[in-house]
């Protein structure tokens, strides 16, 4: 079973079109193994991206060095998934 | 797990496995033989039946409305909402004048788990799976994005030709049986007037096109109806939606479902992105399933009501 320990989902907010296109470029950085939950649309809509643990630091440095603001939407995805699974099982019981 | 014996004891406020949803479908049909029937329109790549519930009060090949949920498997609130819609229809028929009027004139077809292999996989192997599960020859990456595989702008920007991408369009149009089955069914039925394909979680209601900026010919009517639908939706819990054509509202998306259905002449073709109003994304807490479904139903009713009063 695929697990996601330490994976975080970042919510990235572009200040302007320039930053938006920088965020768009992230889609092509396959080395980060990013999973876009909510893709780039427009400046007013945040971008949500799941970042594997091993590329978290690089991605955050990449964003911070370009002064792109982000917040941590999900601190640890696996913790949430475990809670979801437990809720399903207890509800079923 | 304790299997519910009837759909009244089915717990709509939690996420269910595919076998629980398929059992629910069979129970609903058994409980409502004069209103609901089940049609298997094909098989998924791994051989699961593609079940469509038909809600009909009679007639032959009446004008029809299609609703599908779960085409992207990880968007769990959509399959859960589809299950709730099915119960809502049988509960309200004969009681709510609006849905009764619609069903006295039109049939409703509802495919709750449009990507069953992917849905099974999200429960058993990878909760984050989105695509189908068919292997891609020449690649170690599996699956096609079933919302990029349709014959509408296929190959244009707005989809990927990389099998490892989440938006991989597939080797050719309608190459996925989950897509081809709907294509064949819609073509053979030939009397669909509305088609609604449901995703999550960007809170949007969109109409064609996704692959081109060229406006669709019914743009004004579809835009106005979308506005009414999302206004009705917001009236319940204040959930705010944006609306417009796919390419202007979310991004360019070629080979998507409702561009193809619109090009088949199905005017009222819409796609929803349901909520997250918080910061959960695809892991929406189960206690938000019913509020999500209830507000979405108001928008669906606006579209179905308009369709039934403007059959073309």
**Tell me: the pLDDT tens digits for B247-303?**
999 999 999 999 999 999 999 999 999 999 999 999 999 999 999 999 999 999 999
Please give the average per-residue pLDDT across B117-146, as a whole number: 98
Per-residue pLDDT averaged across B52-72, rounded? 97
- Residue B12: closest C-alpha in chain A: A91
pLDDT at A12 over 70: yes
Q: Do B280 and A74 count as a contact with CB atoms less than 8 A apart?
A: yes
Asked if residue B132 lies in contact with residue B143, where contact means CB atoms within 8 angstroms, the answer is yes
**Closest-approach residue (CA) in chain A for B129:** A2
**Chain B residues with CB inside 8 Å of A1's CB?**
124-126
Q: Which of A48, A70, A82 to mutate to test the interface with B (most CBs of B within 10 A)?
A: A48
CB contact (8 A) between residue B128 and residue A74: no
Give the whole-number percent of chain B exceeding pLDDT 90. Answer: 98
Residues B83, B58 contacting (CB under 8 angstroms): no
Cβ B239 vs Cβ B203: under 8 Å: yes
pLDDT tens figures, B197-232 = 999 999 999 999 999 999 999 999 999 999 999 999
| ipTM surpasses cut 0.90 | yes
- Please check the confidence at residue B1 and state whether its pLDDT lies above 70: no
User: For A58-86, what is each residue's pLDDT tens digit?
Assistant: 999 999 999 999 999 999 999 999 999 99
- Name the pLDDT band for B4 (thresholds 50, 70, 90): confident
pLDDT number for residue B5: 86
Catalytic positions of B: 273
Residue A86 touches chain B, beta carbons under 8 Å: no
């Amino acid at each position: 079973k695929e697990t996601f320990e330490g994976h975080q989902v970042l919510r990235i907010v572009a200040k302007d079109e320039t930053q938006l296109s920088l965020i768009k470029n992230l889609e092509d950085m396959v080395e980060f193994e990013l999973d876009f939950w909510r893709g780039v649309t427009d400046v007013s809509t945040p971008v949500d991206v799941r970042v594997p643990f091993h590329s978290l630091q690089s991605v955050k440095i990449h964003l911070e060095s370009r002064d792109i603001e982000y917040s941590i939407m999900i601190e640890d995805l696996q913790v949430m998934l475990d809670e979801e699974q437990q809720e399903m099982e207890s509800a079923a019981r | 797990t304790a299997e519910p014996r009837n759909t009244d004891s089915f717990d709509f406020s939690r996420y269910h496995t595919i076998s629980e949803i398929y059992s629910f479908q069979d129970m609903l049909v058994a409980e409502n033989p004069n209103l609901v029937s089940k049609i298997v329109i094909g098989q998924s790549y791994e051989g699961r039946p593609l079940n469509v519930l038909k809600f009909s009060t009679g007639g032959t090949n009446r004008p029809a409305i299609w609703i599908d949920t779960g085409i992207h498997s990880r968007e769990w609130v959509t399959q859960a909402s589809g299950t709730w819609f099915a119960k809502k229809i049988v509960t309200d028929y004969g009681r709510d004048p609006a849905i009764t009027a619609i069903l006295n004139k039109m049939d409703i077809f509802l495919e709750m788990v449009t990507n069953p292999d992917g849905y099974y996989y999200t429960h058993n192997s990878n909760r984050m799976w989105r695509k189908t599960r068919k292997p891609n020859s020449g690649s170690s990456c599996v699956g096609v994005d079933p919302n990029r595989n349709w014959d509408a702008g296929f190959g244009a920007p707005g989809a990927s030709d990389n099998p490892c991408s989440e938006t991989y369009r597939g080797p050719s149009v309608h190459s996925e049986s989950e897509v081809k089955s709907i294509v064949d069914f819609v073509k053979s039925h030939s009397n669909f007037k509305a088609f609604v394909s449901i995703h999550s979680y960007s809170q949007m209601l969109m109409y064609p096109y996704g692959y081109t900026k060229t406006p669709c010919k019914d743009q004004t009517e579809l835009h106005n109806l979308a506005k009414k639908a999302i206004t009705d939706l917001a009236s319940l819990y204040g959930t705010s939606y944006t609306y417009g054509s796919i390419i202007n509202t979310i991004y360019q998306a070629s080979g998507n479902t409702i561009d193809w259905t619109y090009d088949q002449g199905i005017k009222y073709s819409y796609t929803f992105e349901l909520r997250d109003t918080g910061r959960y994304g695809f892991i929406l807490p189960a206690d938000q399933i019913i509020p999500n479904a209830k507000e979405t139903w108001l928008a669906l009713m606006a579209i179905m009501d308009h369709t039934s009063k403007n059959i073309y």
